[in-house]
Structure 1
Amino acid sequence: MDDYIYDLVGVGIGPFNLSLAALLDDLPEVKSVFFDQKPHFDWHPGMLIVGTRLQVPFMADLVTLADPTNRYSFLNYLSQKNRLYPFYFLERLDIPRREYNDYCQWVANELKNCRFGKRVIDLEYNQYEEYFLLTVQDIQTKETTTYSCKNFALGTGSVPVMPKSFQGLSPENVFHTSEFLDRQERCRKAKSITVIGSGQSAAEVFRELLKERMEHHYELSWITRSRSFLSMEESKLSVEQFSPDYVNYFYQFPQKQKDEIFASQNLLYKGISSHTITDIYNLLYEHSVSCEEMNVGIQVLTEVKGIQEKADKYEILCNQWQQNKNFTRESEVVIVGTGYRPFIPDFINKVGSYIYWDDKGRYEVEADYRLRLNIPNQIYVHSGISHSHGVGSTNLGLAVHRNKVIINHLIGKEVFPIYEKYVFQSFDAETF
């Protein structure tokens, strides 16, 4: 048992909790430790495709939007890696996704309060002493240690969503986009490949497969139930909805109205970036040179109803919902881009009686990112708060602002300044 009572224990070390750990590093008054079961930091490794870019500017690193002078900034990472001049000549705000992952690994390796290869397997609450007890298991040795803390930060991220009818099939041949790089060699040997879904991940996988199709000669299909392969809303005034101003505006509504608003904002986070669509179209155009048979199919307005094994391939059951016509598509490999869902670990159930839940089984969240509890301690939360804080809940830049709010509340004073207005437009009539 670790006898020290920590001010904060972080569970999960993705970008959100890594940002919190980095910002706390200069605050010795907060004793903190963060755990993750992975052996090291790795952010969506199956989607670190060469040529993919982060969808936010590099300033949405782990610390800059809270403290531009912090040594864990992306620019200092470039300096330490002797990459400042190449980045300067690159003249781009967005950065390769692989580089963002490498940057986060650099920060994680520098921080002494981040411990990998450690899985939190149990959680209890001591009502008399008013602190949490977390049991942490070492992945390699299987030894367990108990840690006491006054508060903890839940940053367990999300897990891939696989439709029920696709589960239980060969994972080599039917898999989620999150596993693409692990299965890329299998794709190169396939005779036919189908990608299902029209979000950014599905588009990036299709683009990569399209690049390699001329060399490997497989038949390639892309299916979506959407009316079109829609571009993400990226205009300057639209993206101001990823601001603290909009979070505060959204939070004030009753939950029913929040759900209605959120359901109408798909293209702020579910569409495809314009440069990805342009890349795909350019590749399609080049494939059509000399009137060669493209052997590439793109199908919209089509819902996939199920899948069946058929000899050495799969039969995909489809419905063109506007015409209400059923048809099938055969494919040797099927890649599913059906998104992610927030991951709530089982150990949360051990303290579930202290948490307020809404009528849809979601936890209630305070404006300052604390779960609504009936005990004096705090559980700060990063994952699964879209219903309470809106469309920007998974945005990397807003995560830094969220950590400013969390740290200020944790310490009980304004360590990081919070301003009333950050963007040009107004959302609330009272602020216009």
Structure 2
Amino acid sequence: MTTELPYDFIAIGLGPFNLGLACLAEPLGSRSLFLDRKAEFSWHPGMLLDGTTLQNPFLADLVSMADPTSRFSYLNYCKQQGRLYNYYIRENWYLSRQEFDRYCKWAAAQLDNLRYQHEVQEVWYDASLPGYVLAGVRGDTGEGFQYSCRKLVIGIGGVPHIPACCSPGDARQAVHTSAYLGSKKALQRCRSITVIGSGQSGAEVFQDLLEQAPQHGYQLNWVTRAPRFFQMENAKLTLELITPDYGRYFYGLGDGVKQQILDDQRSIYNGINQSLIERIYQTLDERQQQGLAGVRLLPNLALQQCRRDAAGGQWQLEFQHAQTGARYGHATDGLVFATGYRYQLPSFIEGIRQRIRWDAQGRYAPSPNWAVDHQDSEIYVQNVGLHSHGLTNPDLGLACWRNGRLLNELTGRDAYPCEARTTYQDFQPPADCGFVALGQGSASA
């Protein structure tokens, strides 16, 4: 089907970022549509483990940091569920993953412009609109669909990343944390399990397997190429790096400097929260006192080779120690990759590739307001600008600010203005601070 009039904008993909965009767009009266190939809203269903929490406070919901009065806020969700006092008394600053997923499903159920089981397969520009045409297939009926719009928002999430040293055939058999819950029972029938990767997801899977190791009797290893299992850095002044002010500063830096900074900031966006590290240490201590052997934590080991032995069914791994250079072989029955996600360009991009601006590495080259078309006014992207916008790109706490800026671009209405200043520190000396610029350094080029 084709709509008679083009939508003001269509968003492709329905994760928390685009769902928040839909919630904030709802009271503005714009004609918008949100398409997703899933059958319903779901947020990392393979990692909805008991006792796991978000790394952002509850105020980092879908709307509150842009509009605390929104009916889509988490506090209103609690009120509508009849549990506002329960939440108040519980004094829980951080939501569980399961609670956040339930909250998002509640918000999604109140919107009438979400279309599930709509897989976009083609997009092209139509100068007669002027605008874009999206075509695809409905997963529930097999029927085709076609919509047109003035502007696009691409919010396709990353795909699970398996290290390149695994062959394609072996990679298909590997367990990624994104599918952990569905693979858990099979893993726990193994004699040995190795978890590779030491971010928050890897820590959650390791803790879950560690707690239940006595019942199943498997040997458990946790391996990372990082020099240590590090805690997420969350000091107050450090957290000012996840603010609009810092995002604007970071955007203006040179590409080489940006990459150096991101490498240095891994403990902020790729660390483990303190409560989980403490739970892991406590469980390790309890298991030691109970006499449970067979648990190893190994930093500094970078995976070099990975293959599955078809005859024996074991994984044959080879690692190199990052500090000594020594190489080690390891065989394990169960293997879990906690190696994150990578962005993969959707195939429908080919139809509009020439209208998009790319950087030297073949990535989107977003404007400060996340437009990637040559006019900076038609095609916008969500959650694919770590290289350009830094920590402000993937953080849930900045999603409302970004969506407010996007809606200003999409509708021409600044309905959600941000505070004039969001930090106490200046990331570059302002003109009136008494620090006089003596020249342009190479680091800012």
Give the TM bin, normalised by the shorter chain: over 0.9
**Cα offset for 1:171?**
5.1
> Partner residue of 1:321?
322
CA distance in 1, matches of 2:253, 2:373: 17
Q: Does 1:22 align with 2:23?
A: yes
- Is residue 2:50 matched to residue 1:50? yes
**Normalising to structure 2: TM-score of the pair?**
0.93
Task: Kindly state the Cα deviation for residue 419 of structure 1 after the two structures are TM-superposed.
Answer: 2.8
Question: In the alignment, which residue of structure 1 is the partner of 2:39?
Answer: 39
CA contact under 8 A between 1:2 and 1:145: conserved in structure 2? no
User: For 1:184-209, what per-residue CA distance to the aligned partner results, in whole angstroms no more than 9, with x for missing partners?
Assistant: 11122111100011111111100000
Larger deviation: 46-55 or 125-134?
Answer: 125-134
Residue 399 of structure 1, CA deviation? 0.9
* Separation of aligned partners in 2, 1:175 and 1:35: 28
Supply the distance in 2 between the matched residues of 1:135 and 1:64 (Cα, whole angstroms).
34
Deviations 1:137-160 (CA, angstroms, capped at 9, x unpaired): 211211111111000111111111
- 2: CA distance between counterparts of 1:177 and 1:356? 33
- The residue number in structure 2 matching 1:306 is 305
1:270 alignment partner in structure 2:
270
Partner of 2:388: 388
> What is the match of residue 436 of structure 2?
none
Partner of 2:354: 353
Partner residue in 2 for 1:410: 410
Q: Which residue identity is paired with 2:340?
A: G
TM-score by length of 1: 0.96
For residue 25 of structure 1, give the secondary structure of its aligned residue in structure 2.
helix
Deviations 1:58-112, CA, capped at 9 Å, x for gaps:
0000010111110000011111111212211211210101100110001111100
Q: Is the 8 A contact 1:4 1:147 kept in 2?
A: no
Contact 2:371 2:377 in 1 (8 A): no
Query: Given the alignment of the two structures, is residue 284 of structure 1 paired with residue 287 of structure 2, yes or no?
Result: no
For the 8 Å contact 1:342–1:383, the answer to whether it is kept is: no
Shift of 1:264: 2.1
Give the secondary structure class of the aligned counterpart of 2:53.
coil
Runs of 4+ in 1 over 4 A off after TM superposition: none
Contact 2:158 2:341 in 1 (8 A): yes
In structure 1, the residue matched to 2:93 is 93
Q: Find the residue that maps to 1:429 and give its secondary structure.
A: coil
Unaligned runs of 5+ in 1: none
Which of 223-232 and 53-62 deviates more? 223-232
Encode CA deviations 1:278-323: one digit per residue, 9 max, x unaligned. Answer: 1110000000114x14211111111121123341322211222322
Amino acid at match of 1:400: C
| 2:212 matches 1:219 | no
Q: Deviations over 1:304-363 (max 9, x none)?
A: 211233413222112223222222222110001111112321111211111111111112
Corresponding residue for 1:296?
Answer: 295
- The answer as to whether partners of 1:343 and 1:384 remain within 8 angstroms in 2 is no
Where do 5+ consecutive residues of structure 2 fail to align?
A: 434-445
Change (3 A) 1:39 1:68: same
Distance 2:171 2:147 in 1: 40
What amino acid maps onto 1:327 in structure 2?
Y
Amino acid at match of 1:225: R
Query: What does residue 246 of structure 1 align with?
Result: 246
Shift in CA distance, 170/152, structure 1 to aligned 2, threshold 3 Å:
closer
Residue aligning to 1:78 = 78
Q: d(CA) in 1 for partners of 2:81 and 2:172?
A: 38
Give the secondary-structure state (helix, strand or coil) at the position aligned to 2:230. Answer: coil
